[in-house]
Structure 1
Amino acid sequence: MKARQARVLLTGATGGIGREAASVLLDAGASVMVAARTAQGAATLAGELRARHGRSADQVPWAAADLRESAAVERLAREAAGWGCNVLVQAAGAPAFGPLQAQEPDAMAAVLQANLLAPMVLTHALLPHLRRQQRAQLLYVGSVLGAIGLPGYSVYAASKFGLRGFAEAMRRELAGSRVHVQYLGPRSTQTGFNSAAVQAYNEATGTAMDSAATVAAALLRMLEDESPERFLGFPERLAVRLNGLAPLALDGSFRLHSRTLAALPTLLQGRTEP
């Protein structure tokens, strides 16, 4: 679908990737409904985008919805359907990093709720409307960690593996319909999503990071070329392929990551949150 034909509901719009994605989509001619957890955040962003891109309120509406609440998800789906949404880009998510023993069960549940269950529930709510469109797309912003389990990311990877599996199943379930399903897997990205611990871990392990603008540009390309799945960065793309073919063969490749995870308290001495 060409961007100028797209009326995009974008969740997580006030996040680092979300903001960049909204601007890139608008520059390409799309209309974008920006959705965020708070009305103030969503309304402020919509106002900024309208002014910057010379768009009307219909071309950049906003919606507030806490995706952890089923009633809010249903309301958001109704608003998006009434506006004529034909693309759903799910970019909302929650971070989780550190050894499993350092994670609290309630926090683990919240990450799974935000990264996996909420996108599933919103898809369920909006899908009947999308099926009635001439052409529609479901685009899930996941992570390369939806295909590679990395030390320190057990909870986050579980949520993104689940999201990727959901996208894959939906792609096959909706094959032959008017709804096209896609999964975008960025590698580590330079946003406020990253804590000081993540920054130290990435530096110690030599993990490259992309800008949010790089991810947003890839998202636009996916929208228009309709590729079913794309991972960003090298060697991450290669690792995804190898991990899919022979996951046990890669286990030794992440010993440095395991050692770094254990050494994080020392690495963090003197650091402050970004």
Structure 2
Amino acid sequence: MDIRGKRVLLTGASGGIGVPLATRLAHMEARVALVGRRREPLETLAARLPHSVVVEADLSTAQGCRAAVMGARAALGGIDVLVHLAGVGSFRAFVDEDDEAIERLLRTNCASAMWLAKALLPEMTARGSGRLVFCGSVLGALALPGYTAYAASKFALRGFTEGLRRELAGSGVGVTLVAPRAVRTALNPPEVYDMAQETGMAVDPPELVADALLDAILDDAREVVLGGMEPWFVRLNALWPGLFDRLLRKQAETVRRFVRRKEIQAALQELERKQATR
């Protein structure tokens, strides 16, 4: 795809991956609608990027997703490419997940992709061109301890993109899924980076992921799994999941230790907050 002059709806634009990707798209002369919940950082970003507009929207609801599409369409005159980066994370034992957190994960990480695509597809299919690009995760194909609920939301996103890609075959509208490994953004709590340092787990800078996303858009890619060994791990897990069950038993104990530390720190912070308000 030649991105010059293309009208791009970019969600999660003020986040760790969104800022470098928006910058790259703008410098390649794409016209970008920067979508997010907080207007101030979006306006700060838009002020230094040519051909960009700000669309404030909450993507955790179907109404918010439709509003984002309508706002971007009105500002740009139409949408050629969706790049959906917005998401939320969770690092904790599944038994400790609360109901609201689970619902937020599924709404933001998967349902929002469906709502945005549903709002955009009539325009794209009528025109016979367009591309829907979604940021998934390696954990959408290889679930790990401590990320059970998060992985479920990314597995759902992967299933959605696979089905939609096949449903749209021959329509002129393409679907791309880019699945990074761990990325150094605010999505992760400090315990994840401490665990990564102790275990040697790779964590990529957001700029590297932004480059990979841009390459996927330019190449009209179908599905891209990022990382060194991670693409191989994903393939092996699909063939021999029982092997990975055994390999991850030791890692599960390490994860539990860092999860417990996270929960203890959260409890101490809550206690300090209550004492300060007395």
Q: Which runs of 5+ in 2 are unaligned?
A: 270-278
Q: How far apart are the structure 2 equivalents of 1:35 and 1:243? A: 35
Q: Does 1:140 align with 2:134?
A: yes
Which stretch has the larger CA shift, 116-125 or 21-30? Answer: 21-30
Change (3 A) 1:31 1:247: same
Please give the per-residue CA displacement for 1:32-58, whole angstroms capped at 9, x wherever unaligned. 11000122232222113x2xxxx2xxx
Q: Where do residues 1-274 of structure 1 align in structure 2 (5 Å cutoff)?
A: 1-48=1-48, 50=49, 55=50, 59-82=51-74, 83=76, 84-264=78-258
Secondary structure, aligned partner of 1:109: helix
Please give the per-residue CA displacement for 1:230-262, whole angstroms capped at 9, x wherever unaligned. 011011111011112222221122123201122
Secondary structure, aligned partner of 1:263: helix
Instruction: Return the TM-score normalized by structure 2.
Output: 0.89
Q: Which amino acid aligns with 1:4?
A: R
Shift of 1:267: 6.2
Q: How far apart are the structure 2 equivalents of 1:33 and 1:81? A: 9
Which stretch has the larger CA shift, 218-227 or 21-30? Answer: 21-30
Contact 2:3 2:28 (C-alpha < 8 Å) held by counterparts: yes
Shift of 1:125: 1.1
Secondary structure, aligned partner of 1:120: helix
Please give the per-residue CA displacement for 1:41-88, whole angstroms capped at 9, x wherever unaligned. 32222113x2xxxx2xxx201101001232222222122333221000
Q: How far apart are the structure 2 equivalents of 1:205 and 1:98? A: 17
Q: Which amino acid aligns with 1:76?
A: A
Contact 2:109 2:157 (C-alpha < 8 Å) held by counterparts: yes
Q: Which amino acid aligns with 2:42?
A: A
Contact 2:138 2:230 (C-alpha < 8 Å) held by counterparts: yes
Change (3 A) 1:118 1:37: same
Q: What percent of counterpart residues are identical? A: 38
Q: How far apart are the structure 2 equivalents of 1:161 and 1:218? A: 20
Q: Which amino acid aligns with 2:60?
A: R
Change (3 A) 1:266 1:106: closer
Q: How far apart are the structure 2 equivalents of 1:129 and 1:253? A: 47
Q: How far apart are the structure 1 equivalents of 2:235 and 2:28? A: 31
Q: How far apart are the structure 2 equivalents of 1:265 and 1:63? A: 36
Contact 1:7 1:87 (C-alpha < 8 Å) held by counterparts: yes
Which stretch has the larger CA shift, 139-148 or 195-204? Answer: 195-204
Q: How far apart are the structure 2 equivalents of 1:103 and 1:237? A: 29
Contact 2:11 2:86 (C-alpha < 8 Å) held by counterparts: yes
Which stretch has the larger CA shift, 210-219 or 133-142? Answer: 133-142
> Once superposed, what is the RMSD of the aligned Cα atoms?
2.0
Q: Which amino acid aligns with 1:13?
A: A
Change (3 A) 1:259 1:178: same
Q: Which amino acid aligns with 1:22?
A: A
Q: How far apart are the structure 2 equivalents of 1:223 and 1:265? A: 36
Aligned length: 264
Q: How far apart are the structure 2 equivalents of 1:109 and 1:266? A: 23
Shift of 1:134: 4.8
Secondary structure, aligned partner of 1:189: coil
Change (3 A) 1:265 1:80: closer
4+ runs of 1 displaced by more than 3 Å? 265-270
Q: Which runs of 5+ in 1 are unaligned?
A: none
Q: How far apart are the structure 1 equivalents of 2:213 and 2:259? A: 36
Secondary structure, aligned partner of 1:158: helix
Q: How far apart are the structure 2 equivalents of 1:259 and 1:33? A: 44
